[in-house]
A and B are shown apart, each in its own frame.
Chain A
């Protein structure tokens, strides 16, 4: 079920009530585990089996890793986990993509190969929970963490419903210890958790779905080419939509966990105020970027083996990170562009090591970063390269005969919301939400909270899925 639905509202109220009963801690954890399976199976019940497979394989792989005395045996247990998890991911998510790509390669050398249609439904959130479970065995393999002592705690770590389908991607060391001792949210945590959930849903239901998504759809799903204004406004709309959608999900998830007494890590830190791309990736989807860094970039050599190896590791990480988002070459290009940006930034930092931008240059570099990030969003949002080139051509003024696509209403909404978003990100650039709230008069907080609640209900969201569910 999705957070922005009546079903979740009732489900969450039941979970909260159940979790607050004076039951044994093990019983309450079992309740949370069963509730999480119910949460997942509410999409498509048979796919719970995949979740169980992933859970059980990694549990036994970690046990095997601990028992193994020879390095070869440790490798074997680690590989079992990686192959099982990535195997499922490849089969369900990339099967069609691989077949199509293979056909294209065959066609390019004159061989006509037409595979049967690979008609398989993508299990929701598979990219997220396979990364979470893999981090468990990989941490044990890398001797960063001891395996969980209780299967219940471990299974709950994998399945805990707030993070299950779209993150934040939790590490076992972040969550398993929280299941060791009884936890129940304090009254303050419960109320603040509810406030965070309201903020997250406001981002999703009101800003992303009600006001930004339509403008992005009109431009990116149109058959006609977009002129300069439309191409930019459609892309800016998507930049706002994807942030409000995904950060909204993360904030709601963090709030839901807090209502139950658990802490989840930040996943976003006002990324559109980033200055430079390494800064951007410290602020955007933090739990994925740090996962890729720890389990891909560093094992590939990181920055410890000279510049050539560093750039290779960087590009490989970003290309695979792009592919993680979706089974389409447009996502690979999106990742590749970020890899090029990061590599270029690295080169420039080495070349101009003593350069310190002044205030104007600092803001200018921030605007440049945001602009280049928007260029990458074109490939992320466009379904085909043809559409991506068409929008990019529009953005540089190449579609001179284009007719207007967006009406004044959409233009005003996109301009207003994206401007407000950017100003907020820059204001919050080196602040936390908690610090700002601690200085804001309670009356203002209450009014904003009430207004957001009203806007969520009045917006009448259609329960549309979060964008990242498809990944």
Chain B
């Protein structure tokens, strides 16, 4: 609280003015807001010109690096798809998993085969559990739910996109308008408009000296290209640029290694059991409004698969999930036709591979589950083996 003036400075500033703190207990007058005596017109023109040059150079730099304008995959984009369920498409097929279900299932292929594209609610780097609980609490959803199970994420919970459902329900009108403006007026024209190329992110990824005493994990780099309906496919650079592909693999490798402070195997399994319990509760709600649920474990390869087999043994995760939820699932290792696809960084397919895979995958779903006999077609709690 201003009780006295402590500054002893001599104020020779021609623009100096008093503030309310100098005038206790009186009506405050209209403030002064002088404009410095400068040629502001010329300054503004110069500033805009410099901005134009810099932003143009920045855009050219990213385009030269193989980046093109595209859609930003954020909570606002997710919210548009999530709202479709409440806006008359409650009986739709919903895809809800992590990046594998997002990148490896191509919506146009599915649409060609099924006559209607599913709603894509998968979110990279994220367990779908929170979004599943959100759907389970929504009686308007009565359709089919295909849950992607990427062991490391599904059985750990959380992730980058864990707040998407909450954001959707709290999204303000201003945020909805902002999403629309961004999607139609900015994203189609600017290549650098991607969280991966934000100024702070770019600076952070420079080779800063490591601080001793702790392992500092690398961030996952850009992996996919998105469309406005949240169709997505692997960024071609991941497959075509060997250095980039190796970088992507190195980033995955970090999570294959156990560092001090990481969960022990027993803790991992305990967390997995907690996630399964969450899923059991969600399943009860989903079934209460007639939703058919099918789990899918999509392909992984190489060191990634070896890590998943070691850290999240199938018997204690996938099989336990199906048994506890009395649901059916598709595990890629049970279907020869789901194997043999090229996964450049061991986790996701190329776009052309994903198109072929979608046709195969849709065929399995259609033939063995939802259209051919529904949930009673096979004994529950097991994978359907062809």
Contact = CB atoms under 8 A, between A and B. Distances in A.
Chain A interface category by residue count: 35 or more
Interface in B7-21: 7-11, 13-17, 19-21
A411 B178 contact: no
B150 to A, nearest CB: 25
Interface string B26-68: 1111111111111111111111111100110010000000000
A422 interface: no
B98 to A, nearest CB: 22
Interface residues of B, number: 84
Contacts of B33: 189, 254, 258, 263-264
Interface in A163-209: 171, 173-175, 177-178, 186-189, 191-192, 194-195, 198, 206
B187 to A, nearest CB: 11
A206 to B, nearest CB: 7
A173 B15 contact: no
A261 B26 CA distance: 25
Interface string B212-240: 11101000000000000000000000000
Contact of A404 (B29, B30, B181, B213): B213
Contacts of A412: 208
Contacts, number: 266
A408 interface: yes
A286 B13 contact: no
A406 B211 CA distance: 8
A407 B211 contact: yes
Contact of B178 (A5, A198, A294): A5
Contacts of A171: 20, 27-28
Nearest to A190: B40
A278 B15 contact: no
A434 B1 contact: no
A264 B14 CA distance: 19
Interface stretch (A108-116, A373-381, A451-459): A451-459
B172 A314 contact: no
B208 A409 contact: yes
Interface stretch (B108-116, B118-126, B199-207, B362-370): B199-207
Contacts of A276: 6
Interface in A363-415: 403-409, 411-413
7 contacts: A187-B40, A189-B35, A294-B24, A314-B3, A449-B44, A458-B199, A460-B199
- Cβ-closest 9 pairs across A and B: A450-B50, A446-B46, A290-B20, A449-B47, A1-B174, A42-B174, A263-B33, A191-B40, A430-B9
Given A349-B4, A446-B47, 20 more contacts: A6-B185, A42-B177, A45-B173, A189-B35, A191-B40, A265-B20, A279-B7, A293-B25, A303-B3, A405-B214, A411-B211, A438-B37, A446-B42, A449-B46, A450-B51, A454-B50, A458-B55, A458-B198, A460-B194, A460-B199
